Structure 1
Amino acid sequence: MSRDEYNDVLGKAYDAKLMKRLLGYAKPYWKLLLLSLVLLILITGLELLNPYLLKIAIDDYINGNKKPMYEVDINSDIEGVEFNGFKYIRKEDSTESQLSNSPLKKILKNNGNYYLVDYDTENIDKGIPLDKDNYLRFREKDLSGINRISLYFLIVIFFTFIFNYGQIYLLNYTGQRIIFNIREELFNHIQSLSVSFFDKNPIGRLVTRVTNDTETLNEMYTSVLINLFKDILMLIGIMIIMLKMDYKLALLSFSLLPAIFIVAIIFRKHIREVYRISRAQLAKINSSLNENITGMKIIQIFNKEKKISKEFDKLNKNYLNTSVKEVTIYAMLRPAIEMIKSLGIATLIYFGGGKVLSNTIEFGMLYIFIDYLQKFFGPIMELTEKYNELQSAMASSERIFDILDNDSFIENIQTPKKLHKIRGKIEFKNVWFAYDKEDWVLKDINFTINPGDTIAFVGATGAGKSSIINLITRLYDIQKGEILIDGINIKELDKYELRKNIGVVLQDVFLFAGTIEDNIRLSNKNITRSEVEDVAKYVNAYNFIDSLPGKYDEPVMERGSTLSSGERQLLAFARTLAYDPKILILDEATSNIDTETELLIQDALEKLMKNRTSIAIAHRLSTIQHADNIIVLSNGKIIEMGNHQELLAKEGMYYDLYKLQYNEVF
């Protein structure tokens, strides 16, 4: 794996600077996040309350018959259960010190029957039998207590549901709003970057940043960030409660923590490496899919399906094997934690059970410790598994911020000069340009295009023709020299205002998914339907549009795949005319058109170029013979300049190109 691939998928498990920046996006929603945190604290408290309610139900009410009772005179003023000439009062319910000398009784069960016996005996021979009605009289307080605890349980469950619903909704709503803002900022930033940025960054990678990486951050905001507090609160709450109730049993339970930490460290070490490889292999699969689906026509033409299938199968199997390793590690983690948990419960039962039998602690106490111990392992498991989510979020945020911090803009001047009524005069003065450092593509270019003139550029591939177009529209900035529009340096103009006045028709016309009308007006609501129809008629696009089932509402598939090259070209002309630019640029606009369509396009071109400064790039010299001036480029320099007849008379490079193209002998 290359270093770039490594860095692309692996980041720090936690980066304070990145986290601070990520929290900055959450700042506008701090009230919602605070409310979510408050709800989380309440939910944690309610979840910790459940086992305690069970303890009370078990120790105070279900096992209430085993509680010691004072046997006092029936005439006593203290409230109690009257039976067999005496009054019986639970020891725990009494605050009277004089009762301490009274005999203690309890209720024993034997063969389905109940007996009232001395508290310090298990012998029922001297006990007094209790029928069902009398037994229920002794248990009346226990029954009412169980009913009360059951009601408390229902209340706790109800509020846990309400708080959980509110917390999950608030958290996910906030997370989605934060991700919406990040995704929008990222997309807008990408749009504002110079074209040179896209020359160096694959489109698939940028799409991944806007989609997958932002979604990974959503997991961090909704799953890791807030729920991390819940897990920590749960652990702290359980530890405090267990220590308060019985610190010896609590310390016994906590003695398993070192074993958990060892398992977590081993897990983290192995899963980090497998996770890194897995993400890199998935990136390769995505890259392969993008490349092969895009080039499917070539694959099928050259019958390369089997070869491509084998290559993809190899990538897919590698990813499968790594995924199996990842699953294996996770499959080992849970049983390991479960084994430690079971060992802890067994230890509690062994030592706690002995204390229950010796009446040192009550059964409910042992039960609540087992329950809390089970709950204790839940957050530990969550914290262990959230490691990968946090690491993935850090890596994604690093990649996102790497784009957001990219400053390869075409700088727009703060106080631009106004283009009140553009005439269309273009001047290149000593222009030098390179895409990469000083690897010059254009070298000391000088020419002037007067308003309304038609200028053509010819030359071999790589001569610099398209670069001149990119510079006029200021998609790139020059390193040396000046480019002037109506005598004003284009760097002193608002770049958006400049581009509004320049119409560009490329050889490979890009159409958006939508309708024919959408692709002509390009979401400009100021262009009416009638204006769309008018420009379509003017550039000869009306006939083919009218033949479509939906006409102007006919759906256009991605990149206009259902339309011919000529139809796409005519739509591009209609689109350009709808915006009425003062400068028209045609980059190989008729290079791949059949003869019949070319006649329509040539007619459309004449209409388009009328009263406009026009710049044409063409390999087919027949399309530019009537240009006012033809500039011949070679290796980034102007070799010749003049009209068609003048250049032929010179018998230079243009003459050679013309002779090769038409096979004429002069």
Structure 2
Amino acid sequence: MTSLRELKQLLAIAQEFKRPLLRATLFGSLGHLTLVVFTYFISLFFLTKITTIAAILFIVIFALAVLKGLFSYTEQLLNHYVAFKVLHVLRVKVLEKFKRISVDSFTKNTSGDYMTMITTDIELLEVFYAHTITPFMIYIVQSLVVSIFLLFFSVKLALVALIVYIVIGLVYPLSFRNVGQDVGENYRRKLTQVNNNSSEEAYGIFETLQYGKIDEAKRNIDLETEELTRSSYLKNKFLVDLNTLNVVTYNIGVLAFIYVASSLDSQFVTVSLVAMFIVSFIPILYMGNLASTLSQTMASGKRFLELMNTPEEAENSGVVVDFNELKVDNLTYRYADNTVVDNLSFEVKKGEIIGLSGPSGCGKSTIAKLIMKFISDENMEGNITIDGVELRDIDNRYFRENSSIILQDSYLFNAKIKDNITFFEKDLDKEELDASLRKTNLRTFVDNLKRRENEIVGERSSNISSGQKQRLSVARSFYNDSKLLILDEATANIDIFSEIEVLKALEESKKDKITIIISHNKSTLSICDKIIRLGE
């Protein structure tokens, strides 16, 4: 459940929108109170004979109607400003956090979880900041002002109003908060699961059709959609039940108010006060119904804060090294109870190319991820050092800027070829870009494209071959000119002629960097100065 501490953290973020929120509260309160007073006076107007007093009441009513419109317009304007500002600020906070947390943190959740956070969760948090804080403050102001106003007529009337206001606006939301949050969290979990699996089915449609498994895929989606529908039903049932409880309590409150008000001396005043009391419930009922929305919102807030509270990698506080020598000393690494690397030692100096070879599952990729700080060293024994400095002590930003890993299935953005190679660098080096394309045997391919380097690589690299995709990822590392370069089966899908060009480029540039090649292919390992065979 969302604790008081987490709620305080969410409210602390609202400090960035404090002024527009306070202005929205002011104009919102004035707008609702104007409506209450308007209702009171218009009731008196219709109950009063045409006299000078009636004429004055008419003028007052007209003025209040104009003011109500102005106040409501200003409140809506400010609330919408806050709403879009919140969406911008929260998304920036999430993306900024992504830049500061360790790569290992991303393995603990699926991409669907993060996409749901950036879209659905932040949309729900926008409801909290832009459409909950202001209504709550308006509810407080209106409840107090109306109750104090009723004191001038009857203490009992004021008590009846205050009790009903508190029950609907505070007691019910707090009482059903935990139930609502459970329902909201369950719905969000099912929605994320459907989103994840639907995306996987869409991306894997060719394999599904190839093996004739479309019926099985349909059954899986049907089953998950049924679970989502059931969860949605429970969520909406909670909303309806809470709304019904609010309406019943409201009706009982109105009847109690009428009963107490009937004892007043003036019938005109009684009718006017009852009408005013009924109208005064607009922000109060909104608060009661808001509790149902908050069930999901608070669950989203909890996940947002979990991300915000994720430990960050230390930046600009570590040691800077020259990347002259990488040394692995008595390295052992375990996944749970499974030891994948056992007491491994090797070293590689600048200007050397070392190869790692061995059967699948012997820990080659694990070693690469440990060297690149992609996974935590909690389950690691031994040391990995560069120039005698342990990896954890090397400045992270500096390390990332000067190291590269090329995976067998590297990711390419749905963007221009040049942007995929240069990572959207504004002041790109055209000569270096051209050299990177030549080193990977891509120059001719790119020149034959209609837009050359400006050609868009389609979603999931759908308009290029797997070999071209892999060569583009290698070209990216050449352009970056890293001091530490790791290739993890990076030439597996490349044709023999392109591989020769890539290996030739690696040999020519090896004097300036530490290079590690992971491969099963003997031709790829042929340029290595030394080969470490694992799992033998």
Q: TM-score by structure 1 length? A: 0.71
- Does residue 527 of structure 2 align to residue 622 of structure 1? no
Cα deviation digits, residues 128-172 of structure 1 (max 9, x gap): xxxxxxxxxxx5x36xx53x4444334323333333233333334
**1:218 and 1:262 mapped to 2: Cα distance?**
21
Alpha-carbon contact 2:242-2:289 (below 8 Å) kept: no
Identify which range, 373-382 or 464-473, moves more after superposition.
373-382
Q: 1:548 to 1:337 in 2, by over 3 A?
A: same
Shift of residue 247 of structure 1?
A: 5.2
Q: Distance in 2 between matches of 1:369 and 1:487?
A: 82
* Secondary structure of the corresponding residue to residue 201 of structure 2: helix
* Equivalent of 1:186 in 67, 91, 94: 94
1:293 corresponding residue in structure 2: 202
Shift of 1:55: 3.9
RMSD, aligned CA:
3.5
Which residue does the alignment assign to 1:601?
499
Supply the distance in 1 between the matched residues of 2:383 and 2:64 (Cα, whole angstroms).
Answer: 75
* Structure 2 equivalent of residue 51 of structure 1: 39
Mapping for residues 114-153 of structure 1, pairs under 5 Å: 141=52, 145-146=54-55, 148-153=56-61
Asked if structure 1 preserves the Cα contact closer than 8 Å seen for 2:168 and 2:285, the reply is no
Q: TM-score, normalised on structure 2? A: 0.86
2:132 alignment partner, SS class: helix
Cα separation, 1, equivalents of 2:219 and 2:191: 17
Pick closer, same or farther for the CA change 1:549–1:489 going to 2, 3 Å: same
Matched, 1:481 2:382: yes
- Identify which range, 544-553 or 189-198, moves more after superposition: 189-198
Aligned pair partner of 1:531 in 426, 432, 438: 432
Matched, 1:456 2:355: yes
What is the match of residue 18 of structure 2?
30
Between the aligned partners of 1:332 and 1:415, the Cα distance in structure 2 is 56
For residue 543 of structure 1, report the CA deviation from its aligned partner. 1.4
Compared CA separation, residues 253 and 533, structure 1 to 2 (3 A): closer
The verdict on how the C-alpha distance between 1:625 and 1:531 changes in structure 2, with shifts beyond 3 A counting, is: closer
| Matching of residue 17 in structure 1 with residue 18 in structure 2 | no
User: SS of the counterpart of 1:173?
Assistant: helix
Aligned match of 2:371: 472
State the number of aligned residues: 530
Deviation for aligned residue 1:451: 2.8
Aligned pair partner of 1:388 in 292, 301, 314: 292
For the residues of structure 1 that align with 2:356 and 2:164, how far apart are their CA atoms? 80
1:17, 1:160 → 2: CA distance?
A: 38
Confirm or deny that 1:433 pairs with 2:341.
Answer: no
The code of the aligned residue for 1:402 comes to E
Distance 1:264 1:162 in 2: 32
Q: Distance in 1 between matches of 2:473 and 2:434?
A: 14
Alpha-carbon spacing, 1:523–1:435, altered in 2? closer, same or farther (3 Å): farther
Q: Deviations over 1:342-374 (max 9, x none)?
A: 67667777897898xxxx4243x2332231232
- C-alpha distance in 1, partners of 2:259/2:358? 91
Q: What residue identity is the alignment partner of 2:215?
A: K
Tell me what 1:378 maps to. Answer: 282
CA, structure 1 residues 160+335, in 2 after alignment: closer, same or farther (shift >3 Å)?
Answer: same
Query: Equivalent residue of 1:449, what SS?
Result: strand
Structure-1 separation of matches of 2:24 and 2:91: 23
Higher helix share goes to which structure? 2
Q: Give the 3 Å change call, closer, same or farther, for CA 207–592 of structure 1 in structure 2.
A: same
State whether structure 2 residue 266 is matched by structure 1 residue 361.
Answer: yes
User: Judging changes above 3 Å, is the alpha-carbon distance between structure 1 residues 19 and 621 closer, same or farther for their aligned structure 2 residues?
Assistant: same
- Structure 2 vs 1, CA of residues 462 and 382 (structure 1 numbering), >3 Å: closer, same or farther? same
The 8 Å contact of residues 545 and 551 in structure 1, kept in 2 or not, is answered as yes
Instruction: Give the secondary-structure state (helix, strand or coil) at the position aligned to 2:128.
Output: helix
SS in 2 for 1:457: strand
Aligned mates of 1:276, 1:501 — CA distance in 2: 42
Query: How far does residue 474 in structure 1 lie from its aligned partner after superposition?
Result: 3.0
Q: Secondary structure at the match of 1:320?
A: helix
Report the alpha carbon displacement of residue 498 of structure 1 after superposing the two structures with TM: 2.7
Bigger radius of gyration among the two: 1
Instruction: Show the 5 A alignment for 1:103-252.
Output: 141=52, 145-146=54-55, 148-246=56-154
Q: Quick one: distance in 2 between partners of 1:258 and 1:574?
A: 66
Q: For residues 148 and 437 of structure 2, what CA distance do their matches in structure 1 show?
A: 78
Cα shift at 1:520: 1.2
236-245 vs 46-55, which deviates more? 236-245
Task: Identify if the C-alpha distance between structure 1 residues 302 and 177 changes in structure 2 by more than 3 Å, giving closer, same or farther.
Answer: same
Distance 1:220 1:459, change over 3 A: same
Deviation at 1:56, TM superposition (A): 4.3
